[in-house]
Amino acid sequence: MTVNLAKGQSVSLQKSTGESLSVVRMGLGWKAAPRRGLFGTRTREIDLDASAVLYADKTPSDVVFFQHLVSNDGSIRHTGDNLVGGVGAGGDDESILVDLPRVPVHITQIVFTVSSYTGQNFQQVENAHCRLVDEATGQELARYDLAGGGAHTGQIMAKVYRDGSGGWQMAAIGAPAQARTFQDMLPAIAPFL
C-alpha cells in the first residue's frame, strides 16, 4: 500500500511482512508545464538531474549524480541521466537504486535532490514526484507529489535516513533551492539533516 506523504511527513520503511527491505528504488519524475499561446503543442524539454547525497551525520561523504553514477561503496546506483524529461504522471524520469543493507555503517542519511543543470526553473515544471519502490516486488512504498511552480532551479525532494532502531525511514522535504548542481544545493540541505 502506498503512503502518500505530505511535506515534512515521514514514514517507516518496513515491509508489510515485517522483514527489512533490501533494494529500494527512488524514482523521480517531472512533467513540463503546457505552453500557453502559439505553438502550444511544441514539446518543451526539461532537463532535470536527480542526485543523491550520502551524509555521515552532517558531513557529506559521497554523492551519486550523472557524472558519478555509483557511490564508491557500491550501495547506491543512478540508472542514468534523462535529458528530456516529462515522461508523464506516473513514470519516473530518473531512478536511483539504494541497496539498504549495503549502505556503509557511518552513512546516516541519504538526501535526494533534483536540480536543473541548464538553469531551467520550476515554473516550467507542472508537477514533480518522488516515490520509493521496493525493487524486489515492484511495490510502491511511499510517494511524495509536489505541485510545480517557483522560480527556483533546484528542489530537495526527500531523504531516507536511519532511525534509532536500525531501520530506515523516508521523509518528504520538498524545499526549493537555487542550484544547478548538488554542490550548490549543500547549504540548502543542511537545515534538513
Partner 1 sequence: MTAELVPGQNHPLPSARLEVRVSAARPVAAAVVLTDGSGRAPGPGRVAHCGAAPPPGVAAPGPPAAGHHLALDLGALPPGVERLHLALALPPGAGAFGATAAPHTDVATPDGTGVASFTLAGLTAETAVVALEFYLRAGAWKVRAVGQGYAGGMAALLHDHGVPDAAALAAAVTAGPDRPVHPGSGLPGPGRPRPTPSATAPNATAPTPPPATAGPPVPVAGDAPGLTMDERLYNQVWGVFEDAARSAAAYRSAADFADSRQEAELEALLADPAARFGPAAESARREIRARRDDLERRAREVLERDSAQLLAEMRAVEAAMPAPMARWDAPVWADWRAPREEPPYAVRLGDLHLPDHPGLRVPMLVRMPLPRGLWVDAGASPDHGVPGPGVPGPPPGRGGLRGTAAAVAAALAARLLACRPPGGMLLHAVDPDGAAAAALAPFARAGLLAGPPATGLPAVAALVDSLVKRVDLVRMALRGGADDALPPSVDRAARLLLVHDFPYGFDDRTVGGLRYLAEEGPAAGVHLLLVADRADAAGYGPALDPFWHGLTRLSPVPQDCLADPWVEHVWTFEPLVPAPGSTVVTDLLHRLA
Q: Which residues bind partner 1 (CB under 8 A)?
A: 19-20, 22, 56-57, 59, 61-62, 70, 72-75, 100-106, 136-137, 162, 165-167
Q: In angstroms, give the least distance from the CB of 182 to partner 1.
A: 18
Residue closer to partner 1 by CB (options 49, 62) is: 62
Neighbours of 161 (CB within 10 A): 18
Residue closer to partner 1 by CB (options 71, 115) is: 71
Q: In angstroms, give the least distance from the CB of 105 to partner 1.
A: 4
Confirm if 30 and 127 have CB atoms less than 8 A apart. yes
Residue closer to partner 1 by CB (options 40, 164) is: 164
How is 28-91 classified by DSSP, letter by letter? EEEEEPPPPSTTTTS-----EEEEEEEEETTEEEEEEBTTB-B-TTSSEEE----SS----SSS
Q: In angstroms, give the least distance from the CB of 59 to partner 1.
A: 7
Residue closer to partner 1 by CB (options 59, 123) is: 59
Q: In angstroms, give the least distance from the CB of 81 to partner 1.
A: 19
CA end-to-end span of the chain, whole Å? Answer: 27
Q: In angstroms, give the least distance from the CB of 72 to partner 1.
A: 4
Residue closer to partner 1 by CB (options 4, 137) is: 137
